[in-house]
Structure 1
Amino acid sequence: MFAIVLGMLIVICGVLFLRMHAFLALFFGALVVAAVTASHSISDSALNHVTATITQASGQRLLLGDVGEDLAKKPGAFYVVPNASASVPPTLVWVDAFIEEDGTAIAMLSQADSVDSWTGGQLVPESKYTQAKQLAGSSPINRVAAALGKTFEKIGILIAMASIIGQCLLVSGAAERIVTGIRNALGERWTTLAFVISSFVLAIPVFFDTVFFLMLPLAQAMARRTGKDYLKYVLSIIVGGSLAHSLVPPTPGPLFVAAELNVSIGAMVIGGIGVGIWGVIAGYFYMLWANRTWQIPLRVEASTSTDSISSPDAINQNMPGFWFSILPVIVPVLLLGLKTFHQTMGGGPDGPLGEIWDSTVSFLGDKNIALSLGAILALLILITRPAMTWAGLAGSVQKALSEGGVVVLITCAGGAFGEMIRQTNVGETIAHALPASVGGVGLLVTAFLITVAIRVIQGSSTVAMITAIGIVVPVANQMGLPFHPVYLALAIGCGSKPLPWMNDSGFWVISRMSGFTEKETLKTFTVLLTIMGVVSFLATLVFAMVLPLV
């Protein structure tokens, strides 16, 4: 636990007090944790769920208990690792077969020399044992570098493509076309609902800060036009965009958490929308109450004219069509959802056509392919705009990748930090320390509270999710989950929302851009996100109990 506390102090103090870049804070935290972790903890963490305890050794029969869920019961070479009190070295044996007798797993050996000291020891596959020893013997910097590369393999392409989609939507005018299209469809009476829906849709491929920058001039223009309800228009943007930032990939936080828990992107998207909608509803009603309770005036000049809001003809002339604009967002979501549904239904029909269908869905529904197709569509929208040149297109892509590269670095450093925490074997320690009565629901509550604590301490919701997952995943692996791991990912995402305050960059973006005072931001933005996070978490608990999906 000392290593974990030390690493978290480095990350939190580095970000909060030293104003260190998040990548450096996470990288140095990971390196320190790796350096102070004992080699036996590293090897033990690598062997979790691939071992079995020898409860009785007799001749060529080894009776097994606590069989790891990832232990392949197949003939092959295994190491018998005696317990510490035996004081004998590990023995390499050959297992001919695994059998079951009265519910007990038994390993049948080809031969056995001395088995007296084997009771209480561990049966470990030779390949896993060798890998664990090699990992324990490698240098701290090599382990950190390997974890960085492993994280990039999971999310590097996704973040790059999401950055391209977001940049192209902004530059081409497609993002504003989505907003105005939804508003025109719902009518002026439902402008706030249009803002909620638009910001939620845009926050899937575009970072929340950028969504707020894009839509705030529209909110200011509406407030100038009506002469009231400025707070309602501003909060409607936050209601729609903030939860998608933490619950719906491909934004970095939920994308990383889903990858660490081996949750498909499609399942995370569906789950994020499914629980997030309840937080959005709660936030919407709080927004209406806050607007009636406090009259906050528009103190800054709107940068968007009311004409651009109210003239559909001008919109149609200067922006791409609505359905063309929204394709880069909905096509990846539909492909990911199709693959998730396809897997849930057990695949397509039998025969050659079924095999072709399975291969097609598997290819198009791959997360990297789906996001890449979305990026291609976004590029097509941008290059078809009047006066757009190939040089301009290249510049937009370069800007997107430059901004996305920073996010990739931070996220990969967070992955390395989480991996170094896992190598301390903290999962076993915490799992044994928790009361036996703590089950799956208790683990969800624990994950939520850990994320809330880290979020309040250091401010960043993404860093909170990245740090919390490194602590929670080992515990989940030790205890097991009675429900789909997507619920654990959602609990962590919900925990990154409550209690944003002055150490959160988003707090200052909202305050300064909207013209709110610090007190006004605390009683509106801070309370709003807290309500939304808690309500979404309660929805996650209910779904996990009623619809476990195991």
Structure 2
Amino acid sequence: MIAILLGMLIVLCGVLFLRLHAFLALFFGALVVAAATAPEAISDSTLQHSTASISEVSGNHLVLANVGKDLGSKPGAYYLVDASDKTGQNLGPMLIWVERFDKEDNETAAYLGEPLPGDVSIGKAWLVSQSKYDQASKLSGSSAINRVASSLGKTFEKIGLLIAMASIIGQCLLSSGSAERIVLGIRQALGERWTTLAFVISSFVLAIPVFFDTVFFLMLPLAQAMARRTGRDYLKYVMAIIVGGTLAHSLVPPTPGPLFVATELDVSIGEMVMGGIGVGIWGVIAGYVYMLWANRTWQIPLRITGAAEAAGSEWSEKDELPSFTISILPVFVPIVLLAMKTVYEAVTEGNAGGEVAIVDVVISFLGDKNIALSLGAVLAMLTLVGKPEMTWIGLGKSVQKALADGGVVVLITCAGGAFGEMIRQTNIGATIAESLPTSAGGMGLLVTAFLITLIIRVIQGSATVAMITAIGIVVPVANQIGLPFHPVYLALAIGCGSKPLPWMNDSGFWVISRMSGFTERETLQTFSVLLTIMGIVSFLATLVFAMFLPMV
């Protein structure tokens, strides 16, 4: 815990007071946390969901309890390690061969290739696969700098290409005038008075099949173009995107967090979707009200940097802009491809084969987020090529500028991901689990689930990781006391708890800050406060529904 507090202090003081570049502050914070973490904690955090305790031994038959979701059920080499020392100092560890796993009447058993030696007394022991054990041992023996560097690389693997392609899309839409054409279409359809509401509704709907970061990347150029044309309300347009998209990310499947939580609680996807929309709408309303107040209180200008700088001068004639159809394609095509893959996987449930195997491959390829965004970038460049007097050299310079600006965002985001991973390696989740009271009931369990998720979210930054960690802590308590309401409310409470108090260890914080041109202080007082209000209000709505509409 001291290491975590020290790391958080380094990040906060480095950014707010020493004015260090965000990448350096996050990197140094991650390095300090990594250096101060004990090898045992690193190993424990790696094996947290990959073990099973042995409750009974009978010849070649092991009865398992507390089976982790990542243990797996495939035959192969496994280790027996001491339950109080997962690094295996007391028991050996002992390498055994498991021929098969059986599960009957909520009991899981492992059958060994040969019985354990008679002189072996395993006491309290864990079963863990050889690959997971070797992975944990290797990670716990790595140096701090190697673990930080590895985490940087893993974060880049997840979002690096996505940010690069989104930067190209944003700059090309602005430079070609496509973003302005889309804005004109929105204003003509709804009128300028309802443009902000259109942003909210659009981002909420899009964030159901699409990651929020992707929705933000795709819609930000529209907010920038609208602010450039009206000369005001840039903060309102940016916050409208956040208001609509952020709650869907944590409350409505098929995004990973709510999907995993619903699965663990045996809540159907349809129930989670309806519940997420039902309580999320109240958070959206509260966020919308705060957005209007913040826009009147703080006048944050559109800072003409990065992609916005490439937009050049205003288009003076509507006829000079690209057509609406061509303009919308770089945004529309990636969203359609991503949604198509989501719907296809939900319908087929992985049972596609034979004659439709080629369809499965094609949809999986085109629906990959990196491929979809790359195709969007190609279409965006084509809109820029169609601009009068645009040359290939000019196109190259625009793309080069977009990648340079996107590179800064990638560095900061990857550093934030590494900082969060180093905090996770301290095994903070297990510490919270040990201090959790087992006698919480009814509404108290909802409050406990919300607070646990909130604490984990604040400490390590990732909303999805906070939800996945919290459900592992809460489910045993729920199974013990029983729920006086539908389990969807417990899933929603965890989703709401993943929203409040995002700060510098959240990669989304830096994406919004750098892409929008907000300073760190402006991002804290707008984005961070906005998500906190929305999460709390949505949770209060969850409590009210659970109390008066328990659905038991």
Count of paired positions: 486
1:169 to 170, 173, 181: 173
3-state SS, counterpart of residue 64 of structure 1: strand
Residues 298, 60 of structure 1: alpha-carbon distance in 2 compared, 3 angstrom cutoff = closer
1:367-446 equivalence runs, <5 A: 367-436=369-438, 437=440, 442-446=448-452
Residue 216 of structure 1 corresponds to 227
Which shifted more, 279-288 or 422-431? Answer: 279-288
Q: Post-superposition shift, 1:368?
A: 0.8
> How much does 1:25 deviate?
1.4
- Report deviation, 1:405: 0.8
Post-superposition Cα deviations, 1:180-215, rounded to whole Å, max 9, x if no partner, equal 2211222xxx42212442588699354888766543
Is the Cα–Cα contact under 8 Å of residues 183 and 222 in structure 2 kept in the other structure?
Answer: no
Aligned to 1:204, the other structure's residue is in SS state helix
**1:309 matched to which residue of 2?**
none
Of the three residues 296, 319, 322, the one matched with 2:321 is 319
Distance (Å, rounded) in 1 between the aligned partners of 2:545 and 2:397: 45
> What does residue 102 of structure 2 align with?
99
Q: Report what 1:226 is aligned to.
A: none
Counterpart selection for 1:204 from 202, 215, 220: 215
Q: Report if aligned partners of 1:10, 1:28 keep a CA contact under 8 Å in 2.
A: yes
Distance 2:143 2:518 in 1: 46
1:333 is paired with a residue of what secondary structure?
helix
Alpha-carbon distance, 1:435 to partner: 2.9
Give 2:194's aligned residue: 193
Relative to structure 1, the CA distance from residue 204 to residue 39 in structure 2 (aligned partners, 3 Å threshold; closer, same or farther) is same
Identity of aligned residues (%): 49
TM-score, normalising length from structure 2?
0.73
In structure 1, what is the equivalent of residue 73 of structure 2? 73
For residues 141-165 of structure 1, what are the alpha-carbon distances to aligned partners after superposition, in whole Å with 9 as ceiling and x for unaligned?
Answer: 1111111111111111111111111
Correspondence 1:215-294 to 2 at 5 A: 215-220=226-231, 236-243=236-243, 246=246, 279-282=283-286, 284=288
Shift of 1:56: 2.2
> Please, what is the CA RMSD of the aligned residues?
4.8
| 1:341 corresponds to | 343
- Which has the higher Rg, Structure 1 or Structure 2? 1
In structure 2, which of residues 88, 92, 102 is the aligned counterpart of residue 89 of structure 1?
A: 92
Structure 1 position 450, deviation (Å): 6.4
Change over 3 Å in CA distance of 1:361–1:469 after alignment to 2: closer
State the match for 2:42 in structure 1.
42
- Equivalent-residue separation in structure 1 for 2:339 and 2:430 (angstroms): 35
SS in 1 for 2:322: coil
Q: CA deviation at 1:476?
A: 4.0
For residues 391-446 of structure 1, give each alpha carbon's deviation from its aligned partner in whole angstroms, at most 9, with x where no partner exists. 11111111111111111111111111111111111111112222333757743454
Cα deviation digits, residues 217-258 of structure 1 (max 9, x gap): 43348xxxxxxxxxxx66752552343575689xxx99xxx6
Residue deviations 1:520-548, cap 9 Å, x none? x98x999877655654666788999999x
- Secondary structure (helix, strand or coil) at the match of 1:345 reads helix
* Map of 2:367 onto structure 1: 365
Residue by residue over 1:347-378, the C-alpha shift from the partner in whole angstroms, topping out at 9 and shown as x without a partner, is 59966442222222211111111111111111
CA distance in 2, matches of 1:74, 1:205: 40
Superposed, 1:104-123 pairs within 5 Å as: 104-109=107-112, 110-114=114-118, 116-123=120-127
Query: Matched residue of 1:193: which SS?
Result: helix
User: How far 1:60 moved relative to its partner?
Assistant: 2.6
Structure 2: which 5+ runs fail to align? 204-213, 261-268, 305-314, 477-486, 504-508
For the 8 Å contact 2:173–2:327, the answer to whether it is kept is yes
Cα pair 2:174 2:221 within 8 Å, conserved: no
Amino acid at match of 2:230: A
Gaps of 5+ in 1: 222-232, 304-312, 455-463, 498-502, 513-517
Deviations 1:476-509, CA, capped at 9 Å, x for gaps: 4454596698986675346549xxxxx99979x9
Task: Give 1:230's aligned residue.
Answer: none
More divergent stretch after superposition (428-437 vs 77-86): 77-86
